[in-house]
């Protein structure tokens, strides 16, 4: 015999989930409406695309605190986020192309190309200990944080980024 008290509890739980999900959807829609669309090259996973889009939006907003919150490892996320905002924040308000390298099930190297100033930035999206996607952020030195990746082509897609091929000597497969 089934208990009838389980059905109301399930309905409440579903309502809470739908409310939380719709709040996240509303926040995403607001962010999407306020920012330039991200151009994508390569083969991102859903998780790597989502977190990279968040990085670009937080850069464009100049929100170092929210950017640091995307960090997945110990390191220097607060200093790194401030450095990234200083170096790339204004350019992130314009056209940005994200070139995704390697296979993206656990980690993915991404090069951001900022059309506004012609600069580029290598970042690494990865799954953290809690199972959610985030960014490796350990560049407390402003020069290191603003450095152009020496291995990346001058324009997105120039090296044929594709799934299953490692192109970044600075970021070996783990």
pLDDT in tens, 152-165: 999 998 765 544 44
Q: Is it the case that residue 53 has pLDDT exceeding 70?
A: yes
1 in any annotated domain:
no
23 in any annotated domain:
no
Domain hosting 94: range is 37-174
151 in any annotated domain:
yes
Of the chain, the percentage scoring pLDDT greater than 70 comes to 78
CATH of the domain at 170: 3.10.450
Q: Is it the case that residue 18 has pLDDT exceeding 50?
A: no
Write the pLDDT tens digit of every residue in 74-127: 889 999 999 999 999 999 999 999 999 988 899 999 999 999 999 999 999 999
Q: d(Cα 114, Cα 60) in Å, to the nearest integer?
A: 11
| Of 46-50, 63-67, 168-172, the least confident | 168-172
9 in any annotated domain:
no
7 in any annotated domain:
no
Compare 145 and 13 and report the one with higher pLDDT: 145
CB of 62 closer than 8 Å to CB of 85: yes
Q: Is it the case that residue 41 has pLDDT exceeding 90?
A: yes
pLDDT at 161 (0 to 100): 57
């Amino acid at each position: 015999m089934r208990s009838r008290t389980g059905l109301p509890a399930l309905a409440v739980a579903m309502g809470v989930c739908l409310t939380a999900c719709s709040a996240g959807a509303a926040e995403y829609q607001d962010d999407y409406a306020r920012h330039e669309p991200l151009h994508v090259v390569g083969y991102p996973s859903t998780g790597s695309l989502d977190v990279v889009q968040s990085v670009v939006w937080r850069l464009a907003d100049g929100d170092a605190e929210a950017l640091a919150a995307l960090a997945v490892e110990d390191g220097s996320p607060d200093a790194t986020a401030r450095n990234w905002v200083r170096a790339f924040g204004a350019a992130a308000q314009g056209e940005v192309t994200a070139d995704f390298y390697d296979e993206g099930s656990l980690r993915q190297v991404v090069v951001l190309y900022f059309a506004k100033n012609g600069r580029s930035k290598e970042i690494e999206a990865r799954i953290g200990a809690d199972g959610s996607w985030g960014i490796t952020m350990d560049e407390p030195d402003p020069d290191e944080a603003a450095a152009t990746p020496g291995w990346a082509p001058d324009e997105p897609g120039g090296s044929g980024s594709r799934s299953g091929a490692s192109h970044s000597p600075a970021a070996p497969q783990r």
